[in-house]
Chain A
Amino acid sequence: MNEHPAPKRKASDYKSEVKPVWCPGCGDYHVLLSLTRMLAASGTPPEQVAVISGIGCSSRIPAYTNCYGFHGVHGRSLALAAGLKVARPDLTVLVMSGDGDGFSIGGNHFLHACRRNIDITYVVMDNQVYGMTKGQPSPTTDPEWDSALAPGGTGIRPFQPLVIALASGANFVARAFSGQPNETARIIHEAVMHPGFSFVQVMSPCVTFRPEQAAWKDAVHPAPVEATDDPARAARRIMTDDGFNIGVLYRGDRPVFDPHSGAEPVPLSALERSFAL
């Protein structure tokens, strides 16, 4: 994304007329605020921004912005965004969806998006639950969490998004907390400015199905260790992660995916020639 000096834009310029249907109290309101604040700060015109999502409460976000948006099918937002960015490198492409969308049904795309390192930013609003479908465990849910679908808990070790992102080759890895919208805006802004695939896990409480997540705002704390460009150090830091470290974990400099040859296009007749006898 380029910094656009003029004209001045306000966060509200990036909001659409559509009123969110999220539950009052949902952390996703804060994420929307962070997004619009960070876009206003960057000055990127809304028509140069595409917000791509899948399905879930969190994935409702594109229509709440005044950007181009795509509310696709469940789990495929990263793929759709990859196609868009490769076809239209001039756009700022953000993918915003939930932990179910991104780590469960879309888990494979997450790995490969990290590997591929296309210059897009992936913001997962992680509430450790499937909000949209009335509160089932998601990949990041703690194993003991009791629910109708998993009475007594899943007993399954939670998915570790930061570890996976780092191991899979994401070029920028960070965690934010929705209740700190300015800090979240800063982190997302940095993620967008950083070349390649940037991943930001935003802990965003679900007031309806995980009311106990209200305690997150007291549990989060700035990461005690500075961001690093050394994957080994980042990995060590993650090993001591209590799940509430906020801040940038890793900034890499891997080459960004660019399949364009840059060569002058040839006429079609040049391709036909190979078939002639």
Chain B
Amino acid sequence: MTDDRKDAAALAAGIETVPELLAHALRIEEDAEERYLALADQMETHHNAAIARLFRWFAGHEAEHAREIRERMAGMALPEIKPWDFHWGDAESPESVDFTAVRYTMDTRAALGLALEAEARALAFFQRIVEVARDPEMRRWAEEFAAEEAEHVRLVRAEIAKLPPDDGQAVERAEDPDPPNEPL
């Protein structure tokens, strides 16, 4: 895991029932979708169309995952959890790209790198639950989610692999020759 966040694991102990786990799993996807949409908007506002498109594409995927989870748990009542009562063991839900990590001049490699970190965090989150869960049903769900996240990690890696080789010039390219504005 390239992320320097604290190990997501410590928290998982707070998740004790299947409905709680499902509420977390669903929120992970919802948050991730929301985050990608917000990032896509940011990139559009700052005229980075390529990355905006990429983030919007990720948002679509996360929405799809959320829909799948909702389908699978149809009929199951999930607990109402306040945003701050989720057990992420971290500042945010694991699959949300860190708002502060993005730049308006970022390139595809950087964006995919952030997405990869996010997927890897989600994977680690579910793996930890697999490790600590005592209820077999809960473990089964967590394994399933972990398998999915592992697949996402693989997919993002594959996308990164398709990129032209890193020429080491990304930082230079990201430089904005214009001075900042002062709109107010």
Contact = CB atoms under 8 A, between A and B. Distances in A.
Contact of B184 (A20, A41, A132, A182): A132
A27 B100 contact: yes
Nearest to B6: A218
A29 interface: yes
A19 B44 contact: yes
Helix, strand, loop or mixed for chain A's interface? Answer: loop
B99 A25 contact: yes
Interface string A37-54: 110110000000000000
A50 to B, nearest CB: 21
Helix, strand, loop or mixed for chain B's interface? Answer: loop
B43 interface: yes
B184 A24 contact: no
B83 A182 contact: yes
B84 A185 contact: yes
A228 to B, nearest CB: 21
Interface string B162-181: 00000000000000000111
B84 A25 contact: no
Interface string A190-233: 00000000000000010111000010011000000000000000
B26 to A, nearest CB: 13
Nearest to B40: A19
Given A19-B45, A24-B46, A56-B184, A182 B104 contact: no
A207 B104 CA distance: 11
A37 B31 CA distance: 11
A134 B98 CA distance: 24
Given A24-B103, A25-B102, A179-B100, A134 B38 contact: no
B83 A214 contact: no
B180 A37 contact: no
Contacts of A185: 83-84
B83 A37 contact: yes
